[in-house]
Amino acid sequence: MAETLLIVFIVFVVVGMPIGLALGVGTLAAAVVYPALNPIIIPTRFVGLLSDSFLILAAPLFILAGNVAARSGVARTLIDLATVLVGRFRGGLAYVNILDSMFFGGISGSAVADVSALGTFLIPQMVRKGYDKDFATALTIATAVMAPIVPPSIIAVIYAWMADESVAAIFAAGYLPALLVGIGMAVPTFMIARRRNYPREPAPTWERFWAAFRRAAPGLMIPAIIMGGIVLGWFTPTEAAAVAVVYALLVPPFFYGEMSWRDLPGVFADSARLSGVIGLIIGLVGAFGWVLTYSKFPFRVAEAIASFAPTWWMFLMVVIVVYVFLGTFLTPSEIILVTVPVLLPGAQALGIHPIHFGMVCVIASAIGHVTPPVGLCLFVGMAISGLPMEQLVKPLLPLIAAIVVVLLLVAFVPETVLMIPRLLGFIQ
């Protein structure tokens, strides 16, 4: 049963069918071939899954809040703030790129939004200051990996829903890994900046710093509202997402004036399209996962992996390799949705904390945003810079290597993930 489902699914993905439809076709094939199943499970699981989950409503709301922030002038003020903080060092704008992705990721939760909003400003600015265009583009693409790691991560919301874990816990778990990824990418950036003698930005005065901070503060309040409200118990994650949308619609446009009410229909339409794609995949994954569970396939996979990866660290190595491979042709949300029901039982059987496992999955799947041939951030960066893919692969390699090194550190040192959620009381 599961074999029929997976074979049909893989065949249709290989021939180019969108993964959401391939999930539905594979499920339908299994239901038609095996009398024990009934094709009616597809619409019932699809509708039931989406209508019964209050948590998953947070994903489209975070997408909307991020899109509003991206178009309302927040990105430009965050660049100014990052410039006064780290611009004085050799290759200062490269460090601004890294820091700004961390700031903006805490607002949008989307790597694609990060590249779109920041790349439009930073890539031309870096090129004008004497940075190589391929390096500026590659760095902008790679730093976007931090957006799905730092809260409010849309991928983390999906994982928490799939694993029935606390969104607040996995949000809190993302802060230290995101910081480590930023530091990791700063290492090759430091060496490249010194070797190519990239310029420094002027040292800021206190007046410039406070001016930049005051201007960025309304935008920085979005992640503060989200995590502050959750930590203090004022909001559920979904309610925090709704409050963030209202705040993003009212406050940043008032302060920055870069988005008019005439722009809102386009913002809502773009958010609805992305949310619709995710919703379609989630709904069909419900039926797909039900068939897998009915056939006991996840437990058979867990037993198979345990036979050649009997320890927790070997299991995580297998997961990382699988995720990096899948990231070359699937998006992170698709990877999480398809694999977590299969792999999570094996992780729990080996004593891996679900929050630790989730953060490893989030980071490993996020690498797929930047790896060819179908990395979404890679294509957005190519569109902004006008450079072909083959010209970006080489400058991307040291940056991807830095992310992988941090991923291995996070995988093998669980406290890098669990320390902050434990301090905040989200987990024991």
151 domain residue, yes or no: yes
Q: Which residues contact 207 (CB under 8 A, 6 or more apart)?
A: none
Q: From its phi and psi, is residue 99 left (phi > 0), alpha (psi between -120 and 50) or beta?
A: alpha
The Cα–Cα gap between 175 and 424 comes to 12
321 domain residue, yes or no: yes
28 domain residue, yes or no: no
**Per-residue pLDDT tens digits of the chain, which is 428 residues long:** 566 767 777 777 777 777 667 777 777 777 777 666 666 666 666 665 555 566 677 778 888 887 787 777 777 788 888 888 888 888 889 999 999 888 888 887 778 778 877 888 888 888 998 999 999 999 999 998 898 898 888 888 889 988 888 888 999 999 999 999 999 999 999 999 999 999 988 888 888 889 888 888 888 888 888 888 877 778 887 888 888 888 888 876 677 666 677 778 888 888 888 777 777 776 776 677 667 666 666 666 666 776 777 789 999 998 999 888 888 777 788 788 878 888 888 888 889 999 999 999 999 999 988 887 667 788 888 888 888 888 988 999 999 999 999 999 999 999 999 999 999 888 87
When computed from its CA atoms, the radius of gyration of the chain, rounded to whole angstroms, is 21
Element (H, E) at 1: none
The Cα–Cα gap between 428 and 52 comes to 28
pLDDT in tens, 329-385: 777 887 888 788 888 888 888 899 999 999 999 999 999 888 876 677 888 888 888
Check residue 356 and give its pLDDT. 96
The Cα–Cα gap between 194 and 189 comes to 9
Residue 351 is part of which domain span?
Answer: 40-423
**Cα dist from 90 to 87, 94, 193, whole Å:** 8, 9, 6
Query: Phi and psi of 90, rounded to 5°?
Result: -55, 125
This prediction has a pTM of 0.82
181 domain residue, yes or no: yes
Check residue 35 and give its pLDDT. 63
210 domain residue, yes or no: yes
182 domain residue, yes or no: yes
pLDDT in tens, 135-189: 999 999 999 889 889 888 888 888 998 888 888 899 999 999 999 999 999 999 9
The Cα–Cα gap between 288 and 21 comes to 11
Q: From its phi and psi, is residue 406 left (phi > 0), alpha (psi between -120 and 50) or beta?
A: alpha
Number of domains in the chain: 1
Check residue 320 and give its pLDDT. 92
Quote the tokens at residue 114.
Answer: 């990060």
12 domain residue, yes or no: no
293 domain residue, yes or no: yes
